[in-house]
Chain A
């Protein structure tokens, strides 16, 4: 395997052998280690000393079902700490097959210049890309696929990343109509913009791809793993993920009173029925759209969709739970057509829909629009693409919007907006939001899936649950496995050990894996500590401890001392 270092100041991209310290790492694990090794923790996240890392997980390129996620990382300009954001699509698989451990983008070019990185076979070139400035990610990916081939994977930023907005994300193309797979959280799109990097083009690998150390072990284990996914009632062709995507949980999260509604002011939305996965599926099918599509090659779950308008014209691929909640119920919108349009706009501008949905909720509370006013909300969002001062504010996330307008109700932790579960009614998620080194991130440890084991409204058991889930998340993010594919490897950790040993021949045991996952969190916590993040920063907003959330009149009442002790047994 090799590392590609891209020096934006010199305009060069060079391959080098993988340094031994990174050899047995991938995805989030690699990013955490590289941050500690190479990035001064106190550096300006949008300055020359931060680095932007693209890497597959350890399973990338090995033809493991749902194992091709792309990790993107660096120091986050939003949280001030470590950030790993991962995306579906075809990039992770392509980099793995090319034998690329990571692409590390360093320094900055002359101010105002943009480039694209072209990876083809053994070669990586930096090419001028000023002609792509000002275009959204959809146009960029279309233009670059016309130029470099329809089978090329395109990673890009839109106008938000060019403007260095804190809510900016990075888009990646995927299978068929899944053109927007987003490394969404934490403002990494702004880091990419600060490097003057508009896009990365990865030509589809030709040739044999990676050569596993033990082909038969990999083949048999990957096959068994894929079969377990197919047989799982949640994940097979009759499972909720395939039938409805993540929108399958809208009804349930609303029922348990955790659905962010009108800037997280209540946990039930009267319009939730029209946002549910069942209604979405019926609508899509009636209009000639698609459900049950995949973003990654070889995925057996296929949870994506292509949401279309009344005439069957594509609005967005894909409409999923987080956007439906943060840009639907959170904004008082009960019409999926409105949410789909907002989703498309965010994808095109290259904006995190969670951060932007939360920001818009704060701004509506500040009086800039009304809850439920789709036209007014859409007009606000449009300003991001137009680059107006208000647009820059909207694209800078919930905390900045709250500060500028003096709004106390800002649903964020460690500077990052909360995803689609109000922590007052799903307290395990509150512990994750508050304590994860990634900030408020449901994929860092989502307690919704463990609701049968720990009562969402109770204070007991949440700390232990969050730690367990955070370790699992570290596993997923470092191996590149989609989090929906986790049940078999949680039930049988030896499956993961066998797949990794089959690829690399490291003879890892299940205990080695557990140590590996915990090291990810240790490294991230250490980087954050060195970056100046203290215990006092790992908190839930004060108002969520004081203001009860209907329907259960619950507050977040897990003591700070408990939050401080989550990692005592790490």
Chain B
């Protein structure tokens, strides 16, 4: 799991998260006390998904703040 931008508060940027089987990205965000209103992009293994997407063992989960390109 990795947090980007201003979501990476209190020094928590990258860590391995232990979650129950079938856990969703949204449930993982809750475990991190992440305000999901501040999340603009969720990716699992580099693919953009939603908070309801289920995690798989060993997957890479990333949360990004809202942002747009130039």
Would you give the shortest CB distance from B28 to chain A, in whole angstroms? Answer: 16
**Which residue of A is nearest B40, CB measured?**
A234
Q: Report the interface size class on chain A.
A: 35 or more
B43 / chain A contacts, CB cutoff of 8 Å:
252, 255-256
**A240-B66, A241-B67, A320-B70 known; A451-B48 Cβ under 8 A:** yes
| The residue from B41, B47, B68, B70 contacting A552, defined by CB atoms under 8 A apart | B47
Question: In the complex the two chains form, is A442's CB within 8 Å of B70's CB?
Answer: yes
Would you give the shortest CB distance from B49 to chain A, in whole angstroms? Answer: 10
Interface-side segment among A37-45, A242-250, A327-335? A242-250
Judge if A233 is at the interface, Cβ distance under 8 Å.
yes
Judge if B53 is at the interface, Cβ distance under 8 Å.
no
**A252-B64, A256-B43, A257-B46 known; A483-B70 Cβ under 8 A:** yes
Would you give the shortest CB distance from B33 to chain A, in whole angstroms? Answer: 18
CA of A278 to CA of B7, assembled, Å: 11
Question: In the complex the two chains form, is B48's CB within 8 Å of A249's CB?
Answer: no
CA of A446 to CA of B6, assembled, Å: 23
A249 / chain B contacts, CB cutoff of 8 Å:
67-70
| The residue from B4, B6, B38 contacting A252, defined by CB atoms under 8 A apart | B4
Would you give the shortest CB distance from A322 to chain B, in whole angstroms? Answer: 6
CA of A249 to CA of B5, assembled, Å: 9
CA of A529 to CA of B40, assembled, Å: 40
Judge if A484 is at the interface, Cβ distance under 8 Å.
yes
| The residue from B6, B46, B48, B62 contacting A240, defined by CB atoms under 8 A apart | B6
Judge if B26 is at the interface, Cβ distance under 8 Å.
no
Judge if B8 is at the interface, Cβ distance under 8 Å.
yes
Question: In the complex the two chains form, is B46's CB within 8 Å of A256's CB?
Answer: yes
CA of A321 to CA of B68, assembled, Å: 11
Question: In the complex the two chains form, is A551's CB within 8 Å of B5's CB?
Answer: no
Would you give the shortest CB distance from A320 to chain B, in whole angstroms? Answer: 6
B48 / chain A contacts, CB cutoff of 8 Å:
256, 451-452, 455-456
Question: In the complex the two chains form, is A552's CB within 8 Å of B65's CB?
Answer: no
Judge if A277 is at the interface, Cβ distance under 8 Å.
yes
Q: Report the interface size class on chain B.
A: 10 to 19
Question: In the complex the two chains form, is B5's CB within 8 Å of A243's CB?
Answer: yes
Would you give the shortest CB distance from B6 to chain A, in whole angstroms? Answer: 6
CA of A353 to CA of B68, assembled, Å: 20
A484 / chain B contacts, CB cutoff of 8 Å:
68, 70
Question: In the complex the two chains form, is A446's CB within 8 Å of B69's CB?
Answer: yes
CA of A238 to CA of B38, assembled, Å: 11
CA of A249 to CA of B68, assembled, Å: 7
CA of A322 to CA of B5, assembled, Å: 18
Judge if A457 is at the interface, Cβ distance under 8 Å.
yes
Q: Restricting to B25-42, which residues have a CB under 8 Å from any CB of A?
A: 38, 40-41
A322 / chain B contacts, CB cutoff of 8 Å:
70
Q: Restricting to A271-322, which residues have a CB under 8 Å from any CB of B?
A: 276-278, 320-322
Judge if A396 is at the interface, Cβ distance under 8 Å.
no
Judge if A416 is at the interface, Cβ distance under 8 Å.
no
Interface string of A419-436 (1 = CB under 8 A from B): 011000000000000000
Judge if A556 is at the interface, Cβ distance under 8 Å.
no
B46 / chain A contacts, CB cutoff of 8 Å:
255-257, 268, 551-552
CA of A400 to CA of B34, assembled, Å: 49
**A238-B6, A278-B4 known; A246-B40 Cβ under 8 A:** no
| The residue from A240, A256, A443, A551 contacting B67, defined by CB atoms under 8 A apart | A240
Question: Which residues of A are interface residues toward B (Cβ below 8 A)?
Answer: 233-234, 238-241, 243-244, 246, 248-249, 251-253, 255-257, 268, 276-278, 320-322, 420-421, 442-443, 446, 448-449, 451-452, 455-457, 483-484, 551-552
Give 10 CB contacts A-B under 8 Å. Answer: A234-B65, A234-B68, A241-B68, A248-B5, A249-B69, A278-B5, A320-B70, A451-B48, A452-B41, A457-B47
Question: Which residues of B are interface residues toward A (Cβ below 8 A)?
Answer: 4-6, 8, 38, 40-41, 43, 46-48, 62, 64-70
Q: A234-B68, A255-B43, A484-B70 are in contact. List 8 more A-B contacts (CB 8 A).
A: A238-B6, A240-B66, A244-B5, A246-B69, A249-B68, A252-B43, A255-B64, A449-B69
